[in-house]
Amino acid sequence: MTQWDVVIVGAGPAGLSAALMLGRSKRKVLIVDSGLPRNRFANHMHGVLGYEGESPQTLLEKGRQEVADYGVEIESGEITEVRELTTPADEEESVDQLQVSLADGTVTTTRMLIVASGLNDRLLDIPGLAAHWGTTVLHCPYCHGWEVRDKKLAVLGESVMNLHQAQLIRQLSDNVTLFTNGVDFIDDAARARLESRNIRIVSEPVAEVLGDGDQVTEIKLSNGKVIEVDAIFTGGMPEYRDEFLASLDLEREETPMGNVLKVDQLGKTSHPRIFAVGNVNAHHVNVPLAIGLGSFAGAGTNAALVTEEFDLAEASG
């Protein structure tokens, strides 16, 4: 069985960027990837300097080639469990390795793990909404706002987060409607603020999103009324893809966007052999940030291994 220096969960921008630093540090690295990057629903990517308007797949394919050139191996598959492997050292037991299991039954061992497995966006359960996700149902004004500027824009959501989203979308068009789907989260002050810049508020529950191919065309309300729209901005609830770490009991923290793995500035978790980076513990991270943070986590992981190697060398005289 191959002994890896580092196994990376996920070949998205965060995982590939971490792998680049590690490959260039002569580390033996395996990336396991299940092929479901968060932005796979979108044909074009924006706000990514040097890749403006390119397909997300183009960046990932180029990244795969770049890390392969430094000897990083990439395998298709799904990591299902990570466990500690302890070896008795003198009187104390120490964790020298992690055991990583894949869905196909393969088991491998590694000195360090980088978790870069991203998240799933759980959308409101409204017929027609998910079918247009990434094309004309959108989440981020910086990623896809310019393409729908000056059009009839809807913001659809049930929480105060959508108040902020509606204000950002107003920068892109003077025709913005906030649909609250029957949930009463707007107080008088928030209402006055939205209406001061002509954002309409519709509080009737939404029955269905209607469309023509990739294009949303109308929002149908539960009272039967139909309102024309060109694009809908909404926010999915993040489901962080870290379930394979469950048995390790890592420290977590509550954030406004859910419960996430707690990490330091380099991405190190409460476990000395595990880093986590990208969307897996931060909902707001976009592609450029994922690349930057991944690069930091890759360097941090290499530094941890370097320290361990010097400690062992000194201890053995």
List of residues contacting ligand FAD (CB under 6 A): 9-15, 32-39, 41-42, 45-48, 78-79, 116-118, 121, 133-134, 139, 143, 241, 244, 278-279, 285-288, 290
CB of 197 to ligand FAD, least distance (A): 26
Task: Assess contact for 247 and 234: CB atoms under 8 A.
Answer: no
Task: Assess contact for 42 and 85: CB atoms under 8 A.
Answer: no
> Measured from the CB atom, is 219 or 276 closer to ligand FAD?
276
Nearest 5°: the CA angle 25, 48, 78 is 60
CB of 34 to ligand FAD, least distance (A): 4
Calpha distance 6→110 (Å, rounded): 6
Task: Assess contact for 17 and 291: CB atoms under 8 A.
Answer: yes
> Measured from the CB atom, is 37 or 211 closer to ligand FAD?
37
> Measured from the CB atom, is 48 or 260 closer to ligand FAD?
48
CA within 13 Å, CB half, 84: 16
Task: Assess contact for 89 and 316: CB atoms under 8 A.
Answer: no
Task: Assess contact for 81 and 101: CB atoms under 8 A.
Answer: yes
CB of 102 to ligand FAD, least distance (A): 8
CB of 229 to ligand FAD, least distance (A): 17
> Measured from the CB atom, is 42 or 207 closer to ligand FAD?
42
Q: How many CB atoms lie within 10 A of CB 252?
A: 16
> Measured from the CB atom, is 176 or 297 closer to ligand FAD?
297
Backbone angles phi and psi of 11, in degrees to 5: -110, 45
> Measured from the CB atom, is 12 or 199 closer to ligand FAD?
12
Burial of 3 (0-12, 13-18, 19+ CB in 10 A): exposed
> Measured from the CB atom, is 39 or 221 closer to ligand FAD?
39
